[in-house]
Structure 1
Amino acid sequence: MDELNLIQKICVYAIPVLFAITMHEAAHAYAAMRFGDRTAAELGRLSLNPIRHIDWVGTILLPMVCLALGGFLFGWAKPVPVDFRRLRHPLRDMVWVAGAGPASNLAMAIGWVLMLKLAMANPDSYFSLPLAYMAQAGVGINVSLMVLNLLPIPPLDGGRIAVGLLPRSLAQPLAGIEPYGMFILIGLMATGLLTALMQPLIAITFKLLMLFL
């Protein structure tokens, strides 16, 4: 997409970004409700309305800066509140609630791959090129969000999954770093280690998704 200017990139990425963060957070809210915690539903977060999930810095400003600088697309939405004490089986159900977000990104990535396949099958259509650009953006955003969120660093989803699956002797120290998790993530990003860690995982995921083409 190097041939696109900044305004064109924003137009291409806007819908995939909104879908990615909205479905991710709504999936958390739905899973929490299914396992006994209605906190998010009661606060109106069980919704496909992007406005309810947008963080104006993490969802709008930071991704635009990343696009302008041509770097790694990074951002976040408002986390869905989950009261793990209200889950029927807190430790076990936490794994399913945390995994619902990345699972939704995987499903959307597959959906965007199929949209790309549709665009490639109709190259003479007026909408094929815009659709292809948007589909590529959708695949990239959802794969990046999925891989990022599966890193075993609390409060990322992968950290919550690890806490739910590891023995107590390992889970408790890992859970203890949650207040510092975002600082660790920012440090990894600033040093370039985050990109180095994620790129191989993203590349493997892309290769698997291309099997749908």
Structure 2
Amino acid sequence: MNFLWYPLDDLPFIFLVLVIAFTVHEFAHAYSAYKFGDRTAYDAGRVTLNPRVHLDVLGTILLLVAGFGWAKPVMVNRGNFKYPRLMGIIVSAVGPLSNLLIAVLGIAAVYILNQTGAIDAASHGVQQAIGHFSYYLIRINLLLFLFNLIPVPPLDGYRIIQDLVPVRTRIKMDEHAQWGMFLFLLIIFIPSLRQHTLDPLLGYWQNIFVYCVNKLELIFNSVDWVKIWTDFLI
């Protein structure tokens, strides 16, 4: 019986992708906050690409088991920013954007490897490894990008909204944040709620991303990404 959310055989690839995705995401938050004048994350040792500093053991295990998890949040003091609202939005946004960047770089890498013939020259085992790793690298980072932009606490999308709305509205949002977080956790861990709320939303945004990739294929010699991944995974 497989108790994991992902296939057991793919666990090494998925764990490596999660280490990369979580580490880069939290580093992006910490580094941008530090560059904007807030030393909170820097003094806590978070401005680093060392995975051990950013990974949360329980959050990583839950992602593998339940498909939902988290890394250690980066503490940010917006009061140290010259322009708290603007810089707060940027610091919140760079985390999800870093995951989008990784996904785009993954797509570019697959395209380059395919066009240069490097994949065809590799052994079948190497082709399989490249296929599995690139598939999960792109898929998981895309999901993290979309997931973290959902405007509910404690996700980055919620913090972005907080910096966009008037101060009075932000105060009211903070007063009800705990209920929003409670509701969000119910949606995550109750399959019936998740299937009718979060899953369709993420699926909708994934379809938009796939549509954009398909349009880019017209520019990049009509590369069939689905066929490439299928060839790798079979």
Corresponding residue of 1:79: 73
Q: Is the 8 A contact 1:185 1:194 kept in 2?
A: no
Aligned residues of 1:110 and 1:209 also touching (Cα < 8 A) = no
Q: 1:1-213 residue pairs with structure 2 within 5 A?
A: 6-59=7-60, 61-66=61-66, 73-121=67-115, 122=117, 123-124=119-120, 125-126=122-123, 127-189=126-188, 190=190, 191-192=193-194, 193-210=197-214, 211=216
In 2, Cα distance between equivalents of 1:181 and 1:37: 28
State the SS of the aligned residue for 1:199.
helix
TM-score by length of 2: 0.79
CA distance in 2, matches of 1:15, 1:209: 24
- TM-fit CA distance, 1:64: 2.2
Larger Rg: 2
Query: Residue 70 of structure 2: SS of its match in structure 1?
Result: coil
Which residue type is aligned with residue 10 of structure 1? L
1:39 positional shift = 0.7
Unaligned segments of structure 2, at least 5 residues: 1-5, 218-222, 224-234
Change (3 A) 1:184 1:209: farther
Q: Is the 8 A contact 1:54 1:78 kept in 2?
A: yes
Residue by residue over 1:113-153, the C-alpha shift from the partner in whole angstroms, topping out at 9 and shown as x without a partner, is 12222444434222232112111101111111111110111
| Matched residue, 1:70 | none
Change (3 A) 1:76 1:97: same
| Aligned residue identity for 1:75 | G
In percent, how many aligned pairs have the same letter? 32
Q: Are the equivalent residues in 2 in contact too, given 1:120–1:128 (CA < 8 A)?
A: no
Q: Aligned partners of 1:130, 1:65: CA distance in 2, in Å?
A: 22
**Contact 1:55 1:77 (C-alpha < 8 Å) held by counterparts:** yes
CA contact (8 A) 1:151 1:159 kept: yes
Q: Which residue of 1 aligns with 2:232?
A: none
Q: Which amino acid aligns with 1:62?
A: L
Runs of 4+ in 1 over 4 A off after TM superposition: none
Query: Whole-Å Cα distance in 1 between the matches of residues 164 and 65 of structure 2?
Result: 36
Moved more, 150-159 or 179-188: 179-188
What is the one-letter code of the residue matched to 2:211?
K
Distance in 2 separating the partners of 1:203 and 1:158: 20
- Give the deviation of 1:169 after TM superposition: 4.5
Structural RMSD (CA):
1.9
> 1:86, 1:179 → 2: CA distance?
25
Per-residue deviation, 1:79: 0.3
Q: How many residues align?
A: 202
Asked if the contact 1:21/1:77 (under 8 Å) is kept, the reply is yes
